[in-house]
A and B are shown apart, each in its own frame.
Chain A
Amino acid sequence: MEFSKLFELIVSASLINNFVFTRFLGLCIFFGVSKRMETAVGMSITFTAVMMISAALSWLVFRYVMVPLDITFLKIIVFIGIVAGFVQASDTIMRKVAPSLYHKLGIYLALISTNCIILAVPLINAGERYSLPESLAFALGSGLGFALALVIMASIREKLELADVPGPFRGTPIAFIVTGLLALAFSGFTGLLRM
């Protein structure tokens, strides 16, 4: 087990192959919750935590149930079941055990199950045959990358509210163009690491 490999995975998943800016995943949520900084931060925290745990669960099921039974072709169905089930369970548990936390972050949990990144990470982990620590590092990197994208975008959009944008471009279209500019900036990270 090399730590440099894990570190490389985190940096690559969060900066170089940032899910939002270079793989275009999780855009619905990205545009949905990046209107205000407060919701963006709440979403980032919830998202990274759920991502790590669901990646670990999916890895265990994939490695110890699906590979021995030779049913890896069912991975889409199984992973979406795991993610949706886990989100539902944590929603119920959090409401009983930590009501104050639930009050703060509960609404984001419900949104997360519709996010494609949360499903893409287990699928990529399975496709690349990552080990458990590698899967976790990849999940952490993806979560951090998504959080970074959300926070940057939210801080820009708060300013954008005051800007004089041409009529037809108000709302989503201008958000897309701003994201394009950010993606351009993020493409500067290409070549940071030789994988």
Chain B
Amino acid sequence: MNSSLGLIKDGIFKDNAIFKLALSLCPSIAVTNNVRNGVLMGTAVLFVQVMVNVTISLMRGIIHPRIRLPIFMLVISGWVTVTDLVMAAYAQDAYKQMGLYIQLIVAFASILARAEMFASKQPVMPSLFDGIGMGLGFLFSLTVISLFREFLGKGSVWGVPVLHAKPLLIMILPAGGFFAVGILMGFFNCLGARMRKKARSR
């Protein structure tokens, strides 16, 4: 049980796809101008990551190593299609805004990387927890970015106004997304450096 918790923690902090590995950046900016879309996108990625990890792990005995990458792509695009169709049916408003980005989950390097590095070598349970960890890490980063942007750009959180001052409109414009990710990345680097220094002096 301890190791599965550890796997989840690694996924959220050590191997965080957006802030640490700088992978799968496209949606992190495109859909994060409000918290609802950010959380929805994060959940979609979480679902795809977990299902892909479990599927690949179940099939790891029968996939021939030489054709493994096309098989992985096939599995990923299959699950992305499932997510795409489900969202088109049940979350129509959000789908209109971010449908293209849901379909492009297929091209996420982080999902393919986890399938290749972890799920194709490990049994089902660790793969499941690894998927949950990576997905939660992604969800966490998207939530942080979208909170930051919606709070500064619209003065609200999840559509509820909290800040009664003139908001910085630029943060919800496309350019603001780049600024937000840049600033947050710098902040996390700074935090990481400080924690390392503390650990060393101990």
Hey, which bits of chain A sit against chain B, CB under 8 A?
A: 21-28, 31, 73-74, 76-77, 80-81, 84, 114-116, 119-120, 123-124, 127, 166-169, 172-177, 179-181, 183-184, 187
Chain B positions within 8 Å of A183 at CB level: 174-175, 178
B5, CB-defined interface residue at 8 Å: no
CA distance A124 to B109 in the complex (A): 21
With both beta carbons as reference points, the residue of chain B lying nearest to A177 in the complex is identified as B182
CA distance A184 to B177 in the complex (A): 11
- Cβ–Cβ contact B26 & A27, under 8 A: yes
- Cβ–Cβ contact B103 & A123, under 8 A: yes
How many A-B residue pairs have C-beta atoms within 8 angstroms? Tell me.
112
Give the contacting residue for A180; candidates B25, B100, B175, B187; CB below 8 A.
Answer: B175
- Cβ–Cβ contact A76 & B193, under 8 A: no
Task: Bin chain B's interface residue count.
Answer: 35 or more
Instruction: Looking at the assembled complex, report how far the CB atom of B7 sits from the nearest CB atom of chain A, in whole angstroms.
Output: 25
Chain B positions within 8 Å of A24 at CB level: 25-27, 29-30, 174, 177
With both beta carbons as reference points, the residue of chain A lying nearest to B110 in the complex is identified as A28
Chain B positions within 8 Å of A80 at CB level: 73, 77, 106-107
- Cβ–Cβ contact B24 & A28, under 8 A: yes
Chain B positions within 8 Å of A166 at CB level: 186
CA distance A22 to B30 in the complex (A): 8
- Cβ–Cβ contact A184 & B182, under 8 A: no
B162, CB-defined interface residue at 8 Å: no
CA distance A160 to B24 in the complex (A): 24
B181, CB-defined interface residue at 8 Å: yes
Choose among B24, B26, B179 the residue with the greatest number of A CB atoms under 10 Å from its CB: B26
CA distance A189 to B173 in the complex (A): 14
Q: Which residues 27-75 of B sit at the A interface, judged by CB distance below 8 A?
A: 27, 29-30, 70, 73-74
CA distance A21 to B174 in the complex (A): 7
Chain B positions within 8 Å of A176 at CB level: 178-179, 181-182, 185
Chain A positions within 8 Å of B187 at CB level: 168
B81, CB-defined interface residue at 8 Å: yes
- Cβ–Cβ contact B178 & A28, under 8 A: no
- Cβ–Cβ contact A116 & B30, under 8 A: no
- Cβ–Cβ contact B77 & A116, under 8 A: no
B161, CB-defined interface residue at 8 Å: no
B176, CB-defined interface residue at 8 Å: yes
